[in-house]
Amino acid sequence: MNRQDVIKFGQLALQKGMITQEQLREAIIAFQNKDNLDEFIQIFIEKGFLTSTQVSILLEKVKKANQIGHYKIIRQLGSGGMGVVYLAEDLQQGILVALKVLNPELSRNKEMLSRFFREAAAFRMLEHRNIVKSYGEGRDENQGVFYIAMEYVEGQSLADLIEQKGQLSPDLALDILRQVVIALQVAYEKGIIHRDIKPENILITKDGTAKLTDFGLVKIKDQKHISLTQTGMFMGTPHYISPEQAQGVKNLDIRSDFYSLGITLFHMITGVLPFDSDSALVICQKHLMEPLPDPADYNKMVSPALTELIRKLTAKTPEERPQTPKELLEMIEKVRMGSLH
């Protein structure tokens, strides 16, 4: 067990009234230069602070605190408004997973719980190498939390890759774009729209495979649900949001995802965001009103064909954008060949 378990053990013993604050402090001082729970426990026993029975009770509680469903928590991978994502071990299958746990407070919010289950439903419907795989969802009755178990991707997010490199080469950016469009095509064929395309939601494996993740804002065709737009909130991330999303249009389609993908492509090859501000409202207004800057002004390696592709993806009206993933994949291939025409 790791140092986090040592901390949990001491906190639990104190919370249960088995030891005093002074005894815990004394044990921590004696524990210095040691690094495992067994040594920590031995200190309590040798000093007479805890009995073997009390130790057994506490160890069982530490074990339960480290487990959600049949998943053993290893460490935290990330966190956000919806909850926390952990690296965990599936104790039944013996594999590593990314375990997304909904914030317990949000589980009492019908809209947020609905959003969480929509994501779980979308993951169940989609299976492709360019989409993060789902292993299932559930509720831990002991801890009272909902979770989704997903494929653990060893690599980094596209956002991290952009931050690391500054600008991606046009060839690399087009390859990532192509893979994400393939993922969107799989979703499109199932009647699913992602609605939150951005670099943070695209994971890149060590072998260069792009995987689309985070279907928390997904819209599933013919499925009734409460939309956050009904409460006066737009859905999506302001820097990548489509003009129609910014306006609160309810009947979004794949062309909205294409716009967000176009902004992501601009970000990949330039290293900057086309529209920025400290105000989310101002950013939305820019998406609606301002023309897109010329990506070639930021990166001289951007070809006229690539610039044209970005402009088509980020057209202000959906009718001016590619209409289907198949059409967009054909356009990407033409750009790689040197011309859209």
Confidence (pLDDT) at 258: 96
Q: Are residues 141 and 255 in the same domain?
A: no
Confidence (pLDDT) at 224: 40
Q: Are residues 219 and 256 in the same domain?
A: yes
Question: How many C-beta atoms lie closer than 10 Å to residue 58's C-beta?
Answer: 22
What gap in Å lies between CA 100 and CA 83, rounded to an integer?
Answer: 7
What gap in Å lies between CA 312 and CA 291, rounded to an integer?
Answer: 12
pLDDT cut 70: percent of the chain above it? 91
**The pLDDT of residue 254 is above 60:** yes
Q: Are residues 44 and 166 in the same domain?
A: no
**Domain housing 249:** 155-337
Domain count, the chain: 3
Q: Are residues 141 and 166 in the same domain?
A: no
Q: What is the pLDDT of residues 228-247, one digit of tens each?
A: 333 333 445 789 999 998 88
Tokens 């994400």 sit on residue: 180
CATH number of the domain that 303 lies in?
1.10.510.10
Tokens 């980094």 sit on residue: 156
Q: Are residues 120 and 82 in the same domain?
A: yes
The set of catalytic residues is: 196
Minimum mean pLDDT range among 5-14, 64-73, 172-181, 215-224: 215-224
The pTM is what? 0.77
For the ranges 42-51, 140-149, 307-316, the one whose mean pLDDT is highest: 307-316
Confidence (pLDDT) at 79: 76
DSSP 206: T
DSSP string, 11-72: HHHHHTTSS-HHHHHHHHHHHTT--SHHHHHHHHHHTTSS-HHHHHHHHHHHHHHTEETTEE
Query: Taking phi first (over 0 means left), then psi (-120 to 50 degrees means alpha), and beta for anything else, what does residue 278 get?
Result: alpha
Confidence (pLDDT) at 82: 73
**The pLDDT of residue 169 is above 80:** yes
**The pLDDT of residue 327 is above 70:** yes
Q: Are residues 213 and 305 in the same domain?
A: yes
Amino acid at 226: I
CATH number of the domain that 86 lies in?
3.30.200.20
pLDDT band at residue 256 under the 50/70/90 scheme? very high
**The pLDDT of residue 283 is above 90:** yes
How confident is the model over 88-117, as a mean pLDDT?
84
Q: Are residues 21 and 78 in the same domain?
A: no
Minimum mean pLDDT range among 21-25, 111-115, 167-171: 111-115
Q: Are residues 56 and 142 in the same domain?
A: no
Tokens 């991330």 sit on residue: 237
Q: Are residues 146 and 159 in the same domain?
A: no
Alpha-helical runs (H) found in the chain: 3-15, 21-31, 37-46, 52-65, 110-125, 158-165, 170-189, 243-246, 254-270, 280-289, 304-313, 325-337
pLDDT band at residue 139 under the 50/70/90 scheme? confident
